[in-house]
Chain A
Amino acid sequence: MADILVYALHYEGAINKNSLGAVSEGARLAAELGGEAHAILLGTDVPDELAASLGNYGAKKVLVAEGPEGLAQPLVDAMAKAIDDGGYSYALFGGGLLGFEIGAGLAARLGAGVVMEVTNVRAEDGELIAERPILGDSAISEIRYRSSVGIVIGRLNAFEIAETGAGAAPVEQLEFELSPHAGGATMVTRGEQRGADVDIEGADILVAGGRGLGKAEGFQLCEDLAAAFGGNSAVAATRAVVDAGWYPYAAQIGQTGKTVSPKLYLAAGISGAIQHKVGMQASENIVAINKDANAPIFEFSDLGVVGDLNKILPKLTEAVKAKKGS
């Protein structure tokens, strides 16, 4: 038997997309191993229908635990209990942030092997092999688990969502005890949206700005260029500039922001960190302007411009306007 326990993150009545991908992936892998994928949710008054809906993505059973939402350590307690009761061979997490913390904590609790940023998992001789890109995605390492439980933490958007049409899954309550240290953290406010509620997901053209803009006012250069493109265009940002308060969180692309795939994604002053790349690499055309010829973003752009954005963006805006006017 090789059953897989999949963590499903939920917020305000909806399951996180990366968790839906993880449940789908868990179901696919469990079938290859001759076992079942079960999902686990933790929260206060998690609706039964929400939990049961994971049956549509291949979960054969869904465990629901009562506890504080948005924190990792209560889930370590709950998942350790579920694994103890249910004899799971693997625990699987979709990309994001909480899953990293839960998976690592669970590895420590169980003495289990853990691999994060996994982009591919395959079943081989009755066990799972995890593939993880390393060193700025310049190589991919393959990892086997030598522990009775293996922990797989996916990279953002690594696992595809697949609806099976199987319908609702049976839901079971999981009783567990909150450890003293898990009780040591309390959520005060969750999901605060800093800045305006802008929409970047529907845009065909995104002009994205990063720390290279130098200051909050630097975003004006991006806004001017987006306005010159006109039509369905918008401005997006990296975590670095959102954390700095230069641009709204709603415009952030990446691991803890939005995933986008516009026709054109034009980056100015963005290094191209993995956590940003995972949210935009499906864009049809990627153009990057960066003064550092070794910036990682040039590894995955279709057109790379090595130069100072302060010189290039204003002229580009004028040239785009002129082109549109002609």
Chain B
Amino acid sequence: MKTAKLILGEWNTKTIVGVALGAALFGVLMVFGGITVFTNTRLTTAFLVPVVVGALFGPLPAAVSAGLGNVVADFIGAWGYWFDWSVGNAVLGFFIGLLPVYGAIITKGKFNLIHAIIFVITGFVGNVVAFGLVTPLVTLALYGGELNITLAQAWAAGISNSVVLVVGGLPLLFALARVYASSTNLTKE
């Protein structure tokens, strides 16, 4: 039961605001905060956003903010709608956001080396599931055909996302945990 709650998150006003903020950040970063490495694939800093949303609110909120964030990016970037990728991003967001489920309670300042390793592994698995499996399936369903090209793009996306998650995500998580750890037992000196 507790795990279920951890996965679904508590959908109160704070979560709603957090998810919306996350989606907005994701969208803006996807459009303005990256460089294109392959068609439909950008080395984007956007995946740092579900890291924070996941740490604060859990996996489902992280998934929603990544998926919606991508739709928003399609909207403001005006490069057409790629719902297959939005779904893929949502799935990856979910995996990234698993943090509290395996005990990395960032809001209590808990994030250690083991959590970091699990984070990297789930990030990797998430990329494989999201872009190796889910995105191609949705592509097939929505746009029909051409798995080859989507798979090639998936590889590019998976690699660039993994790089961003390790290079940017880990320091971000340690920083976040430190901020929360230093926000307890405040006394005036």
Whether A and B are associated in the same complex: the answer reads: no
Task: Give me the interface of B with A, judged by CB distance under 8 Å.
Answer: none
Task: Give me the interface of A with B, judged by CB distance under 8 Å.
Answer: none
